A and B are shown apart, each in its own frame.
Chain A
Amino acid sequence: MARIDLVDLAHSYAGNDADPSSFALKPTSMTWRQGGAYALLGPSGCGKTTLLNIISGIVRPSRGTVLFDGGDVMALSTQQRNIAQVFQFPVIYDTMTVGENLAFPLKNRGLPRAQIEARVAEIARLLDLTPVLGRKANRLSVDAKQKISLGRGLVRADVAAILFDEPLTVIDPGLKWELRSKLKVLHRTLDLTMIYVTHDQTEALTFADTVVVMHEGSVVQTGTPEELFVRPAHTFVGYFIGSPGMNVLPAEVEGRQARIAGHLLGLDKSYGALPAGARIEIGIRPEFVDVATPAPGLLSAEIERIDDLGRARFARLRMGNLKLAARMPKGLSIAGSAAGLVFDPAQIHVYADSRRVEEAA
């Protein structure tokens, strides 16, 4: 059980002298609080596995320090850090039974036999593995194997944190739901810090109470699923989370007005002087743009196609050479391809060089 602090951490697989822009993990500082359920979300190759392996001690960072409860653990091995890690592919010891697999970490630490048996029985019950305890582990299905991998982490009572590296990649979709809810239950029962790496936004948003979004080696936003949806701090977060992703449109912003493709758009807030020379964009989620019949005063756009997602319909539109998505209100049907757009001014965000600009007071 521990709070984990990352202090100015950075890593390059090419060595310390490599060009800083090529770093797999760019300088990062953050805190994982004890008992939190975190998801580390980002596309493949964004540095999330590197970050995970640095925390567990498998990778030694080029720079920076990792603190567990304020104590420097850089000199400690993975085993000494008392971290549990579940990998993408289930790791099980083929020759052992399920019970022996679960007992293995405790046996290696020289615990008394009675204590091992009690603990193994308890974890097996939590993971619904009791009926197969005596079976050879390599004969079980892949989801049961993944549960065993997890169980070997949980079986140690004093584990500081459990790290998951895309643990559900090889699991069938139906069982994914089951395992994910199992993880939530475990998190609540055991009060453990869990860090869950994934590139699947649904997995991240349903598992975690705090989601950390990574992009090209940097953490671009840390927040609750709602914060990520409503106030994306970076255009990448807007684009990566939500389906369809956020509309990001180049714009000129002055005070309470934005100009996109020659149209003026009123903003809810006033923006003071924006950084000179920065690339200014506005972002708005398709959920907050409604398609309407063309009318004077509305932005006009041309409908290219309509995607019916079941719970909602989204129109793909073209405005000059800009493309955007917008919600089709229920029951609306538009003859022809010309449409008007109604923006919710409160939901428009302004971005300078991809980062969200806070409004002037």
Chain B
Amino acid sequence: MEKIPNQKAWFLVLPVFALVAFSAVIPLMTVVNYSVQDTFGNNKFFWNGIGWYQELLSPSTELGGRFFASLWRNLAFSAIVLAIEMPLGIVIALAMPREGWGVAFSLVVLALPLLIPWNVVGTIWQIFGRTDIGLLGYTLHWLGSDYNYVASPLDAWLTIIAMDVWHWSSLVALLCYAGLKSIPEAFYQAASIDGASRWAVFWAIQLPKMKRVLLIAGLLRFMDSFMIYTEPFVVTGGGPGNSTTFLSIELVKLALGQFDLGKAAAMSIVYMLIIIIVCWVYYTVMTNAGEDRGSARGGP
């Protein structure tokens, strides 16, 4: 049978094209457009080429200095929360009950922080940490600590990290729990027959079987923590000084505070590229890790 060319099919995909254009392509291209121009009041635009990008990527300039400072801050923050939340999530998942009423109970308790709107999370911790009325801040003061997240950069960091761990460890735990539940009982039976210790069961069975979900959990947590805005904005507003000014906070200061649309647009593009590249590298490395290429090395 001969195929009849029918261009009407294009009409069927048109809505999707329109939707993607309006939701992603057009806004993105607007940003690209801003990033190569300088803006003044009264909507005056001047062509600036790759000038903003050059300034952004050289740490000696004012813009580049701010960008790299918040980038390192943000990378450090992501590394710290990942280093805490991943092991903690695994430990929580391992400690969760496998059957009975405890399953539903622990699932609900774990899901609670995930259901709270982000600015509410920020507000909760902002109040929690206050030394006059907050339970945490007041207690620490009463115990003799001079904890004050408004004045001390270290305390501000500790508060924000504690908040993120409180907020997001559940996600890692729930994903790991799902991974653990999918391990067939025969694996545990075989391990007990093989005389494996609890530790060996973890390393030989549970961790390898959780690899896929851990990969997803790590990816999600990296992206989220690298894009974090609301919670630190509510708790510290980026301070004290610039000590908790992460990339997104810096970006908002630049775009809305100073109305430097060109600089902010260039920073957005680089910011986005960093996230995409890091995620791609992470995913590629993790999916290839531990796979041999079928080479026979011989011997146990």
Binding site for B on A (CB under 8 A): 56, 58, 77-79, 83-85, 87-89, 91, 93-97, 99-100, 102-105, 108-109, 116-117, 120, 131-136, 139, 149, 152-153
Complex contacts, A135 vs chain B, CB 8 Å: 292, 294, 296
B144 contacts A by Cβ under 8 Å: no
Complex contacts, B184 vs chain A, CB 8 Å: 89
Q: A93: which of B186, B208, B296, B299 is its contact (CB, 8 Å)? A: B208
B300 contacts A by Cβ under 8 Å: yes
Complex contacts, B205 vs chain A, CB 8 Å: 93
B300 touches A84 (CB 8 A): no
Complex contacts, B40 vs chain A, CB 8 Å: none
Q: Across chains A and B, which 10 residue pairs bring their CB atoms closest together, nearest first?
A: A99-B300, A134-B297, A108-B195, A91-B190, A87-B186, A105-B194, A94-B208, A93-B204, A79-B195, A134-B298
B193 touches A79 (CB 8 A): yes
| CB nearest neighbor in B for A110 | B195
Known: A95-B290, A108-B197. 18 other contacts (CB 8 A): A56-B189, A58-B189, A79-B193, A79-B195, A84-B193, A85-B189, A87-B189, A94-B208, A95-B208, A97-B297, A97-B300, A99-B300, A108-B195, A108-B200, A109-B195, A134-B298, A136-B290, A149-B190
A83 to B193, CA, bound (A): 7
Known: A89-B186, A93-B205. A78 touches B192 (CB 8 A): yes
A109 to B195, CA, bound (A): 7
Q: A131: which of B189, B290, B296 is its contact (CB, 8 Å)? A: B296
Known: A77-B192, A135-B292. A88 touches B298 (CB 8 A): no
A135 to B295, CA, bound (A): 7
Interface of B is mostly: loop
Binding site for A on B (CB under 8 A): 184, 186-187, 189-190, 192-197, 200, 203-205, 208-209, 290-292, 294-300
A117 to B291, CA, bound (A): 24
| CB nearest neighbor in B for A108 | B195
Distance (whole angstroms) from the CB of B295 to the closest CB of chain A? 8
Known: A89-B184, A135-B292, A139-B292. A56 touches B300 (CB 8 A): no
A135 to B299, CA, bound (A): 9
A103 to B187, CA, bound (A): 17
A109 to B203, CA, bound (A): 17
Distance (whole angstroms) from the CB of A16 to the closest CB of chain B? 20
Known: A93-B205, A139-B294. A56 touches B193 (CB 8 A): yes
Distance (whole angstroms) from the CB of B169 to the closest CB of chain A? 25
Distance (whole angstroms) from the CB of B185 to the closest CB of chain A? 9
| CB nearest neighbor in B for A135 | B296
A133 touches B300 (CB 8 A): yes
A117 touches B300 (CB 8 A): yes
Distance (whole angstroms) from the CB of B213 to the closest CB of chain A? 14
A250 to B202, CA, bound (A): 59
A27 to B208, CA, bound (A): 41
A116 touches B300 (CB 8 A): yes
A108 touches B292 (CB 8 A): no
Distance (whole angstroms) from the CB of A109 to the closest CB of chain B? 6
Distance (whole angstroms) from the CB of B195 to the closest CB of chain A? 4
Complex contacts, B204 vs chain A, CB 8 Å: 93, 95-96, 104
A78 touches B290 (CB 8 A): no
Known: A87-B186, A89-B186, A95-B204. A152 touches B299 (CB 8 A): no
Q: A132: which of B193, B196, B296 is its contact (CB, 8 Å)? A: B296
Distance (whole angstroms) from the CB of B42 to the closest CB of chain A? 64
Complex contacts, A79 vs chain B, CB 8 Å: 192-195
Complex contacts, A103 vs chain B, CB 8 Å: 300
Query: 28 interchain pairs (CB within 8 A)?
Result: A56-B193, A58-B189, A78-B192, A79-B195, A85-B189, A85-B190, A89-B184, A93-B204, A94-B209, A96-B204, A97-B300, A99-B300, A104-B194, A105-B193, A105-B195, A108-B196, A116-B300, A117-B299, A117-B300, A120-B300, A131-B296, A133-B300, A134-B296, A135-B292, A135-B296, A136-B291, A139-B292, A152-B190
Distance (whole angstroms) from the CB of A158 to the closest CB of chain B? 12
Distance (whole angstroms) from the CB of A347 to the closest CB of chain B? 43
Complex contacts, B193 vs chain A, CB 8 Å: 56, 78-79, 83-85, 105, 153
Distance (whole angstroms) from the CB of A98 to the closest CB of chain B? 8
Complex contacts, A134 vs chain B, CB 8 Å: 295-299
